[in-house]
């Protein structure tokens, strides 16, 4: 690995200029949009519509929930796009938190991502992908773990070998799954697999639905989970050509496209499976698969789920290590992680860290509950990052501030959604939210130790 000599930045933290400079700007608009769609569109779109439909009991209110969460994602994307254009560096929210609120808060965000969320979510995706592969190829429980670890290591190797190689794989998988999902309604109509009457009554809730306010609350939380990850694309801003122009467009196009796909797929499922037959998400998907593709429907949809999860894993493995790289570049993590591979010009050590931690979690099988502890805190950091737009606007003396269309209404709308989600999450499981906040706060003495 190449050696770098740290120099102090304006806060006194060591940074590694040669390491940062050696991440080439080689990604375009397609790669950035694929990163958003690739991470956001996962297994959630196959499972969450069932629970949302059962609670809401109305196609109209289902559409309202998707549009509301789409509005939240679009306003957030506009804010992140402005931040990415102002600070076109690798690291995403970590960089924006550092610039708006200082290194301590940025470190706590990176601490949470590094130790829990990134490897935990990666492990969860790997295990989920292996579970759906069983429908196609019989595997023992140990075989599923081996497959999950093998896929993690293979995707990590692709991203270490070359950013273009990892990005190419991500784009191929993403456009395949987006194309396949977009063809579902055409196939459903051509095959005559459903009935338009399933959408009627369009506005009225069916008997047995949850009370409207509770149903909307539960639906919004479920839809937010399905949208999760769109903000991570900002982490590769340091490797995007012309990031000031590309990143805002990529984030906006990405979340609009994801919203459209989610509405489309939900509509297909309702078209082929009437509300009264909707039970669990797995049963819902199996019913839709049989009606769309006949006896082989389960295998066809399982293959589509595997492709969707692979895309999410590829995006996560490409985007997340940029946070550890940025932390190390600022002297808040092991300095060696800020060094870039001399041949491949990738943050190889940061990628390897995530791959090793995720593989260990797959082998141990203890990550789902741990990840659940940090959902509340992840939403907090998301809101604080967007609040940084307002802080930077108030603090800027030279006019060098993030340019966000519709400011200040855009961040205001997004923060309103964040407050609502936090209230719902804390009300649903306050102990879980407390544990997440307490563990993240435990990083404060670690930050002091690192800075010292």
CATH at 104: 1.20.1740.10
**Res 173: pLDDT:** 93
How many of the other CB atoms lie within 10 Å of CB of 314? 28
Cis amide bond preceding 71, omega within 30: no
Residue-range definition of the domain harbouring residue 115? 22-451
By the 8 A CB rule, do 288 and 301 touch?
yes
* DSSP state, residue 205: P
- Inside any domain, residue 259: yes
pLDDT score recorded for residue 372:
79
Give the DSSP H/E element, type plus range, for residue 8. Answer: strand 7-8
Structure tokens at 241: 């050509």
Q: Which of 329, 291, 371 is nearest to 103 (CA)?
A: 329
In 132-254 the beta strands, taken as DSSP E runs, fall at none
Give the model's pLDDT for residue 397. 58
Check residue 398 and give its pLDDT. 55
Domain count, the chain: 1
| DSSP-H helix ranges across 243-336 | 243-272, 281-293, 297-319, 321-329
Residue 8: inside a domain:
no
2-12 residue pLDDT tens: 333 343 444 44
Ranges of residues in the chain whose predicted pLDDT is under 50: 1-21
**Which tokens sit at 60?**
């109209």
Residue 13 located in a structural domain = no
Bond prior to 199 in cis (omega within 30° of 0): no
| 3 state SS of 135 | coil
**Which of 228, 244, 232, 224 shows the shortest CA–CA distance to 94?**
232
pLDDT of residue 374: 84
State the number of CA atoms in the 13 A half-sphere of 79 facing the CB.
Answer: 32
Residue 5 located in a structural domain: no
Rounded to whole angstroms, the Cα distance separating 278 from 201 reads 16
pLDDT of residue 399: 59
Q: What pLDDT is attached to residue 44?
A: 83
pLDDT of residue 94: 96
What tokens were used for 255? 């979340």
**CA-CA distance, 212 to 248, in Å (whole number)?**
35
In a domain, 415, yes or no: yes
Under 8 Å between Cβ of 136 and 304: no
Answer whether residue 4 is part of any domain: no
User: Which is nearest to 301 in space by CA: 85, 45, 82, 52?
Assistant: 45
Query: How far is CA 317 from its chain centroid?
Result: 11
């Amino acid at each position: 690995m190449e050696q770098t000599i740290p120099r102090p930045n304006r806060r006194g933290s060591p940074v590694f200029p040669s390491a940062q400079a050696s991440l080439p700007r080689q990604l375009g608009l397609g790669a950035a949009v694929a990163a958003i769609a690739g991470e956001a569109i996962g297994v959630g779109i196959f499972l969450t519509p069932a629970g949302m439909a059962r609670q809401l009991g109305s196609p109209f209110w289902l559409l309202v929930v998707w549009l509301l969460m789409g509005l939240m994602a679009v306003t957030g994307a506009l804010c992140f796009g402005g931040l990415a254009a102002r600070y076109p560096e690798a690291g995403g929210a970590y960089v924006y938190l550092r610039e708006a609120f200082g290194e301590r808060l940025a470190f706590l965000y990176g601490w949470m991502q590094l130790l829990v969320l990134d490897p935990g979510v990666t492990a969860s995706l790997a295990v989920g992908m292996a579970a759906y592969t069983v429908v196609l190829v019989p595997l023992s429980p140990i075989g599923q773990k081996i497959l999950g670890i093998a896929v993690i290591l293979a995707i990590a190797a692709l991203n270490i070998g070359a950013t273009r190689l990892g990005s190419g794989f991500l784009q191929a998988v993403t456009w395949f799954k987006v194309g396949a999902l977009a063809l579902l309604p055409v196939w459903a109509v051509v095959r005559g697999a459903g009935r338009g009457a399933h959408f009627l009554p369009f506005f009225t809730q069916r008997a047995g639905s949850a009370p409207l306010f509770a149903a909307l609350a539960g639906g919004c939380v479920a839809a937010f989970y399905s949208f999760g990850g769109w903000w991570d694309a900002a982490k590769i801003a340091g490797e995007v050509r012309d990031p000031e122009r590309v990143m805002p467009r990529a984030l906006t196009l990405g979340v609009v496209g994801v919203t459209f796909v989610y509405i489309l797929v939900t509509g297909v499922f309702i078209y082929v499976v009437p509300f009264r037959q909707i039970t669990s998400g797995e049963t819902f998907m199996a019913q839709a698969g049989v009606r769309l593709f006949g006896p082989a429907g389960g295998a066809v949809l399982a293959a589509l789920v595997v492709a969707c999860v692979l895309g999410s894993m590829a995006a996560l493995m490409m985007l997340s290590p940029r946070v550890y790289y940025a932390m190390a570049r600022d002297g808040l993590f092991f300095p060696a992680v800020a060094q870039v591979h001399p041949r491949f010009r990738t943050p190889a050590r940061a990628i390897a860290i995530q791959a090793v931690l995720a593989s260990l979690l797959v082998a141990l099988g203890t990550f789902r509950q741990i990840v659940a502890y940090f959902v509340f805190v992840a939403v907090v950091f998301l809101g604080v990052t967007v609040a940084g737009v307002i802080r930077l606007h108030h603090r800027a003396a030279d006019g060098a501030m993030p340019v966000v269309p519709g400011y200040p209404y855009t961040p205001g709308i997004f923060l309103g959604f964040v407050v609502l989600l936090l209230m719902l999450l804390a009300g649903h499981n306050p102990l879980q939210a407390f544990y997440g906040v307490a563990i993240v706060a435990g990083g404060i003495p670690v930050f002091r130790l690192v800075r010292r």
